Amino acid sequence: MHNFLMLAAMAAEGAEELNKLQILFQKLIDWCVTAGGHIIGALLIFVIGRFIISFLNRMVATIMARRKFEPTIQSFVKSLVNILLTILLIIAVVSKLGVETTSFAALLASAGVALGMALSGNLQNFAGGLIVLLFRPFKVGDLIESQGVIGVVKEIQIFHTILSTADNKVIYIPNGALSSGLVINYSREETRRVDWVFGVEYGTDYEKVEASLRRILAADKRVLTSPAPFIALHALADSSVNVVVRVWVKSADYWDVFFDTQKTVYATFNREGIGFPFPQLTVHQATQQ
């Protein structure tokens, strides 16, 4: 009888343990189903959200293009909208995974303070981008010089401005440096002045040189007549008589006029017998008594 009672007790304990395992297993299955639903839902939100963000980006770009917004504003707004929508998508995905939105917001606030201190330079660049957009010292398509580089503005993003150089390099300049540093805009005005200094040999007839230069400039229709071209004797240098020439042209014609005129002056001076100087040094030898 005693053995029977012990076996019955052990059977009861075994049944209780089995029941506990069944309950635990059921809870595990329920958790997996719930977590799986959250994960699948989060994935669906992410995929659909990316599609919606892409659609909204294209819609914003189309609206700005139809309303003929400046390329400067278009690039900045598109970059800003994409970042804001991506942040909202991340919040939606995290919320679907079961993280409390309030707790996540508090976490974002704490992380924002830390990131703000760590990324103070980027915040300065963001503010610089707003200043560039507001005061518009340059726009997309302008040729500018800043931070020791020269290039055409291709895009103004929220943190950087992208330049393309003459040798096809792509340069990213922080907006903070552009908003607080020196910027030379070569495209802002419709006209620019082209300057040359031509050296001729001592003894050359200056009037002949000036007449030749005026004929060259008058033959080039790209040279503006108002303001009138300026020609003057600039300096009596060590080995040459330097003649300065200044003309006004359209900004788009600057480099073509600069190089073409130099080529024409060289050919004309050679044809008319106007000599170009070269460095000379006169040495006097002392005679011994």
Establish how many alpha carbons lie within 13 A of residue 28's alpha carbon, considering only the half-sphere containing its beta carbon: 6
In a shared domain, residues 181 and 201: no
Q: Please report whether residue 79 resides in a domain.
A: yes
Tens of each residue's pLDDT in the chain, 289 residues: 555 555 555 555 655 665 666 666 666 666 666 666 667 777 888 888 888 888 888 888 888 777 777 676 677 777 778 888 888 878 777 777 766 656 556 666 666 655 555 555 677 888 888 888 888 888 888 999 998 899 999 988 888 899 999 899 999 999 988 888 899 999 889 999 999 999 999 999 999 999 999 999 999 999 999 999 999 999 998 889 999 999 999 999 999 999 999 999 999 999 999 998 877 667 777 666 5
171 close to 165: Cβ distance less than 8 angstroms: yes
Q: Please report whether residue 45 resides in a domain.
A: yes
pLDDT computed for residue 2 by the predictor = 52
- Domain that includes residue 97, residue range: 24-108
229 close to 246: Cβ distance less than 8 angstroms: yes
Q: Please report whether residue 5 resides in a domain.
A: no
Strands (DSSP E) found in the chain: 143-146, 149-156, 160-164, 170-174, 183-185, 191-200, 230-236, 241-250
Distance CA 115, CA 101 (A): 20
pLDDT computed for residue 90 by the predictor = 81
171 close to 151: Cβ distance less than 8 angstroms: yes
In a shared domain, residues 208 and 179: no
Helix (H) or strand (E) holding 57: helix 2-66
Contacts of 7 (CB under 8 A, 6+ apart): none
